[in-house]
């Protein structure tokens, strides 16, 4: 992509109402633009990161055996009356009336809708288990939308739903999502810690929140340091095998959010110097809730013996848009973002220090073509801005590598390559750049 054709509206001043680094940087780097309280437009740079995150979430869901689909954002109130949640959900739900005076709503989550879809298509226990997911915008009328995309009103969520014949097999589905979540966040460079959590309005009795430790997190959390150092299951793990040993390993140590925290148990079970009392960001949340929806909504299957059995369900959410904030909180410095490679909007920023100079232009064009043909994603700064502005802009948007081409270096056919993560700079022959990045 040539920067001259791109849309990258950077902010010069730090936005006054942005309290945390990720919110400030997303606005300053032209990734998002606020269109209303807790409602954001995703500008090209932010949109690319959002898509990368979404894709990692998708790949790990697919690996775990979940099947992708797409449900609408607008739902009928009648569905929610069936489960009894229409009144219970309260003011966080955005309620809408259509021209025929039908009560509608903008979905805050999809348990009811997926239960309706499932009951229409599945008849027998032989069709189970099933895991279905979608990645779709949600709306929750949060009292205090803040911190940018971390707590938006409109936000992108991946939500998966599992259907099983009995509790033991539902537990196996829960375990698959547990492992998939550990892997998903790790692939983005985030260490997530599963913590016992309350089930809240979703209901049910088994639940873990996946928390990324961050000073600016909204949840107070308590855990054993051993969890922070635990290895993530690798990609060859057999999702159809017994995952319980992995889950046992992660749940053997104390970890709880403040709602579930028990100070006495914490002190009794965790050695003093292993006690982590910190703040964290909830990036995912998994629930097993049995027949909470299947019974009132009559989602039953014919069992192996005579009679219908309500299915055992679970739901599993990832805050896809919130993850941008969580990643920036973990990877930034004074000058800007420092994207981990798997989610970086582009891999390389190619900086032409003197656009219009024949030799700089020709070298940049050649490198741009070479890298692009190798599948490297390049943002080529071909603008006539001053060098200082170009460097600051590249640091702000935080691509993993900056390749700088200027007249002085070209006298010796050399380019400067900077690694954004550690700031290391290296001068090298132009024709070795492609191997280096």
**Binding residues for ligand ATP (CB under 6 A):** 109, 140, 142, 151-152, 155, 157, 282-285, 317, 319, 321-322
Among 138, 285, 292, 338, interactor with Mg ion by CB under 5 A:
285
Q: How far apart, in whole angstroms, are the C-alpha atoms of residue 106 and residue 33?
A: 22
Which residue in the shown chain puts its C-beta closest to ligand ATP? 319
Instruction: Choose among ligand ATP, Mg ion, none what residue 183 binds, the Cβ cut-off being 5 to 8 Å by kind.
Output: none
Residue 183: closest CA among 73, 47, 318: 318
Distance (Å, rounded) from C-alpha 280 to C-alpha 263? 18
20 binds, among ligand ATP, Mg ion, none (CB under 5 to 8 A by kind): none
Question: Which C-beta is closer to ligand ATP: that of 190 or that of 396?
Answer: 190
- Shortest Å, Cβ 200 to Mg ion: 6
> How many of the chain's residues bind Mg ion (CB under 5 A)?
2
Instruction: Closer to ligand ATP by CB, 284 or 406: give it.
Output: 284
Binding of Mg ion at residue 151 (CB under 5 A)?
no
Strands 192-196 and 219-224: unpaired
Residue among 148 and 400 whose Cβ is closer to ligand ATP: 148
Could you tell me the smallest distance in angstroms from the CB atom of residue 228 to ligand ATP? 19
List of residues 6+ apart from 12 with CB closer than 8 A = none
Say if residues 83 and 55 touch (Cβ distance below 8 Å).
no
- The CB-of-288 to ligand ATP minimum distance in angstroms stands at 14
Q: Which stretch binds Mg ion (CB under 5 A): 148-156, 188-196, 275-283, 380-388?
A: 275-283
Q: Which stretch binds Mg ion (CB under 5 A): 128-136, 268-276, 279-287, 368-376?
A: 279-287
CB contact set of 382 (below 8 Å; sequence gap of 6+)? 2, 3, 4, 352, 355, 361, 364
Instruction: Choose the one of ligand ATP, Mg ion, none that binds residue 352, judging by a C-beta under 5 to 8 angstroms depending on kind.
Output: none
* Contact partner, 284, from Mg ion, ligand ATP, none, Cβ < 5-8 Å per class: ligand ATP
- CA-derived radius of gyration, the chain: 24
Contact range with Mg ion by CB under 5 A, out of 130-138, 278-286, 331-339, 413-421: 278-286
Q: Are strands 332-333 and 312-319 parallel, antiparallel or unpaired?
A: unpaired
Q: Which stretch binds Mg ion (CB under 5 A): 2-10, 81-89, 277-285, 418-426?
A: 277-285
Interatomic CA distance for residues 316 and 133, integer angstroms: 9
Q: Which does 85 bind (CB under 5 to 8 A by kind): ligand ATP, Mg ion, none?
A: none
d(CA 197, CA 285): 8
Q: Which is nearer to ligand ATP, 111 or 116 (CB)?
A: 111
Tallying the residues shown for the chain, one arrives at: 437
Q: In the range 213-242, which residues lie near Mg ion by CB under 5 A? A: none
Q: How far is the CB of 108 from ligand ATP (least distance, A)?
A: 8
3-class SS of residue 357: coil
Main-chain dihedrals φ then ψ at residue 404, nearest 5 degrees: -110, 125
Non-local CB neighbours of 58 within 8 Å, separated by 6+ positions: 68, 135, 158
Cα–Cα–Cα angle for 39, 42, 44, nearest 5°? 165
Question: CA separation (Å) from 83 to 4, 48, 249?
Answer: 53, 37, 36
Kind and range of the H or E run holding 321: helix 320-330
Q: Of these partners, ligand ATP, Mg ion, none, which one is at the site of residue 157 (CB under 5 to 8 Å by kind)?
A: ligand ATP
Minimum distance from residue 289 beta carbon to Mg ion (Å): 13
- Rule CB under 5 A: which residues touch Mg ion? 282, 285
């Amino acid at each position: 992509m040539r920067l001259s054709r791109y849309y990258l509206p950077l902010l010069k001043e730090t936005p006054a109402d942005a309290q945390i680094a990720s919110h400030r940087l997303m606005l300053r780097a032209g990734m998002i633009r606020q269109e209303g309280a807790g409602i954001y437009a995703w500008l090209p740079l932010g949109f690319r990161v959002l898509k990368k995150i979404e894709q990692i979430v998708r790949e790990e869901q697919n690996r775990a055996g979940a099947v992708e689909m797409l449900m609408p954002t607008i739902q009928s109130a009648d569905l929610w009356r069936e489960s009894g949640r229409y009144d219970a959900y309260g003011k966080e739900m955005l309620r809408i009336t259509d021209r025929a005076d039908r009560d509608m709503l903008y979905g805050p989550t999809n348990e009811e809708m997926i239960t309706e879809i499932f009951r229409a298509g599945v008849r027998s226990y032989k069709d189970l288990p099933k895991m279905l997911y979608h990645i779709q915008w949600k709306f929750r009328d949060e009292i205090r939308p803040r911190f940018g995309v971390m707590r938006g009103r409109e936000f992108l969520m991946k939500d998966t739903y599992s259907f099983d014949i009995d509790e033991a097999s539902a537990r196996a589905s829960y375990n698959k999502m547990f492992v998939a979540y550990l892997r998903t966040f790790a692939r983005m460079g985030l260490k997530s810690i599963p913590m016992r959590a309350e089930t809240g309005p979703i209901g049910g009795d088994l639940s873990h929140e996946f928390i990324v430790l961050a000073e600016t997190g909204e949840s107070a959390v308590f855990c054993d340091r051993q969890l922070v150092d635990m290895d993530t299951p690798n990609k060859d793990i057999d999702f159809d095998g017994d995952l319980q040993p992995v889950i046992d390993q992660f749940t053997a140590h104390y970890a709880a959010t403040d709602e579930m925290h028990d100070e006495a148990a914490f002190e009794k079970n965790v050695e003093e110097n292993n006690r982590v009392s910190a703040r964290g960001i909830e990036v995912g949340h998994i629930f097993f809730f049995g027949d909470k929806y299947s019974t009132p909504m009559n989602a039953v299957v014919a069992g192996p013996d005579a009679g219908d059995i309500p299915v055992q369900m679970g739901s599993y959410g990832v805050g896809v848009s919130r993850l941008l904030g969580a990643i920036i909180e973990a990877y930034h410095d004074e000058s800007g973002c420092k994207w981990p490679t798997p989610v970086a909007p582009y891999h390389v920023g190619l900086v032409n220090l003197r656009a219009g100079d024949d030799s700089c232009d020709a070298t940049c064009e050649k490198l741009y073509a070479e890298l692009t043909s190798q599948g490297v994603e390049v943002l080529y700064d071909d603008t006539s801005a001053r060098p200082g502005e170009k460097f600051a802009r590249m640091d702000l948007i935080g691509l993993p590598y900056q390749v700088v081409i200027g007249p002085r270096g070209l006298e010796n056919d050399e380019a400067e390559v900077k690694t954004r993560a550690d700031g290391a700079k290296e001068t090298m022959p132009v024709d070795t750049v492609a191997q280096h990045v």
